Structure 1
Amino acid sequence: MKAQVVTPELRQWILEQAKAGCRPEDVLASMQASGWDGAVAEQALEDTLSQFLAERAQQAALPPPVPVPGPLLDGAPTQLVLADRTVQVLLTMHNPRVVLFGGFLSDDECEALIEDSRPRMTRSETVVNATGGSEVHGSRTSHGMFFARGETPLCTRIEQRIAELLRWPVINGEGLQVLHYAPGAEYRPHYDYFDPLQPGMASVLQRGGQRVGTLLMYLNTPPRGGATVFPDVALEVAPIKGHALFFSYDRAHAMTKTLHGGAPVVEGDKWVATKWLREGEFR
């Protein structure tokens, strides 16, 4: 069978479809219906769109992308077998890069994290861009606390599990943060990366570089409300005990579409644990 050659004309046609708002899966289906081999068509689509996005990012003077953590999902596995636990892959999204894992924490681990954190709960704060410090702000109405990295055997076990799952060194992670949302509490949409153009961020970035990934672990299941929302892509993830939500951002820019928030808790309360991952060793 004669090898199919991806021509400049085909690449131009792919770009025209993308600019017209066609979904990649529809473009791929059209190519296959026209006789293109599935693997060749998929590679042509991926290469053409990746090059187009890279050129557009360069033209817009965007910050360059950096390596990010992430699970190994080659072959679309439904579960990942880790050293001490098997987790389910429940949802994947490529833009933004979002993956939902089922059964990442056991019920006992969820309950132990909650109990270990209770005595140290204080009103949650947000980062102050001008100084690099933190303050109580009306956009965030939860209570929370931080564990030092490796502070307890439970923290160590969870941190090692995260490192294996996301293929990112333990030392590049901040300590676990546990948050408690009472009825009505919320965290309005925000980004987890630090804005390097703000005057107070230099000292924050010195501690390990930019944040490049977030793993949000749900420690209980509120009866109503408390979803994690991504407004740019109309995505809502329900908080289910033991599940973990991962998302990454390869640059400090809105193009990552990682604007997200914690919707108000409507009934009951919500407990979560957050792990932020840095470019380098967090100190």
Structure 2
Amino acid sequence: MNTRSHQQITPELRAWIVAQAQAGQPAEAVLQAMKASGWDEDVAIDAMESTLRAHLASQPATPVQPSAPAQPSVAAQSGEATQQPTGVPVPEPALSESPLYLDAGDRRVYVLQSMRNPRVVVFGNLLSDEECDALIEEARPRLARSLTVATKTGGEELNDDRTSNGMFFQRGESELLRRIEARLATLVNWPLENGEGLQVLQYRPGAEYKPHYDYFDPAEPGTPTILKRGGQRVATIILYLNEPERGGGTTFPDVQLEVAPKRGHGVFFSYDRAHPSTRSLHGGAPVLAGEKWIATKWLRERRFD
């Protein structure tokens, strides 16, 4: 039986959703409450979005506001308090014919897993053991406490959610980097010059990066400054350079997916708009034993200089 086709969105449910939004309840909390009551997740999301769209259309002068500014409301997280951004073209591996392998120019890469929504692809054999070791050794002398982009100012800042050590390479600064960057550009069909420089991160036991989005929040005052260099981020590629003993996976909480940090493998995910509807929320789970090394490549809309 198709559960979704037998679940009706009633007036009582719509009234309850509006009440939760007006009370400033987080979208995830409302969604979890509906799922706990037996609602199919897709039906619940459709109900939230259609209800809030209709409510806001009927009251254009009084949009729903959260009661606590630090906690986005259902309306804000579902994109109904403001116009949802228009989607843009994003990188995309050649997976239309469900291949087991892809030609990345100088290397045959394995397709291990592919998800459409969110767009997540897990690749194997993306880097050789020698390339993993070389990236770690080139990065090690330049490590410092990792910073995050400060979207309020356009600069960088320390963030308690990110407890790794890291560094950035300039794009193309060595033969090793040029080879890997060309491989990634070929693999996901995106111009090499649209990529940021590779970032290498080291996570020791207990280190993590709590769930976050990689795109730049359009509502933050520093975002226009950031976007002058290449536009928005539209995709991420995470490369696993070693294997922690336990923990350290890449998590996608919206779809309850965890990608294991297997040496030489990588995970690609894209997001065609700066909005939670992309379901691109992700994080680095705590390392429970050993240490984890990864390299991250962010891809922009346009040339990044």
CA shift in 2, pair 1:267/1:209, >3 Å: same
Q: Residue in 2 aligned with 1:121? A: 143
- Equivalent runs, 1:124-203 vs 2, <5 Å: 124-203=146-225
Percent of residue pairs bearing the same amino acid type: 60
CA shift at 1:70, angstroms? 1.3
Q: Kindly indicate whether the alpha-carbon contact (under 8 Å) linking 2:246 and 2:290 is maintained by their aligned counterparts in 1.
A: yes
Gaps of 5+ in 1: 1-13, 22-51
Counterpart Cα distance in 2 of 1:80 and 1:203: 37
Counterpart Cα distance in 2 of 1:280 and 1:268: 38
- Equivalent runs, 1:63-82 vs 2, <5 Å: 63-82=85-104
Using the size of structure 2 for normalisation, the TM-score is 0.74
Between the two proteins, the alignment pairs up a number of residues equal to 239
Task: Return the match for 1:103 from 113, 116, 125.
Answer: 125
- Deviations 1:99-141, CA, capped at 9 Å, x for gaps: 0000100000000000000110000011222101111111000
Counterpart Cα distance in 2 of 1:95 and 1:17: 20
Q: Within the alignment, does 1:237 sit opposite 2:225 as a pair?
A: no
Q: Residue in 2 aligned with 1:85? A: 107
CA shift at 1:20, angstroms? 6.2
CA shift at 1:214, angstroms? 0.2
Q: Within the alignment, does 1:62 sit opposite 2:52 as a pair?
A: no
Counterpart Cα distance in 2 of 1:266 and 1:214: 24
**Partner amino acid, structure 1, of 2:91:** P
Q: Residue in 2 aligned with 1:10? A: none
Please give the secondary structure, in 1, of the residue aligned with 2:89. Answer: coil
Using the size of structure 1 for normalisation, the TM-score is 0.80
Counterpart Cα distance in 1 of 2:253 and 2:290: 24
- Deviations 1:156-209, CA, capped at 9 Å, x for gaps: 000000110000001000000000000110000000000112101111000000
Q: Kindly indicate whether the alpha-carbon contact (under 8 Å) linking 2:119 and 2:271 is maintained by their aligned counterparts in 1.
A: yes
Counterpart Cα distance in 2 of 1:73 and 1:154: 27
CA shift in 2, pair 1:105/1:200, >3 Å: same
CA shift in 2, pair 1:167/1:19, >3 Å: farther
Q: Within the alignment, does 1:205 sit opposite 2:227 as a pair?
A: yes
Please give the secondary structure, in 2, of the residue aligned with 1:158. Answer: helix
Counterpart Cα distance in 1 of 2:279 and 2:225: 26
Counterpart Cα distance in 2 of 1:234 and 1:88: 23
Please give the secondary structure, in 2, of the residue aligned with 1:95. Answer: coil
Q: Which stretches of structure 1, 4 residues or more, deviate above 4 A after TM superposition?
A: 18-21
Counterpart Cα distance in 2 of 1:214 and 1:65: 16
Please give the secondary structure, in 2, of the residue aligned with 1:161. Answer: helix
**Partner amino acid, structure 2, of 1:208:** G
CA shift at 1:17, angstroms? 3.1
**Partner amino acid, structure 2, of 1:171:** E
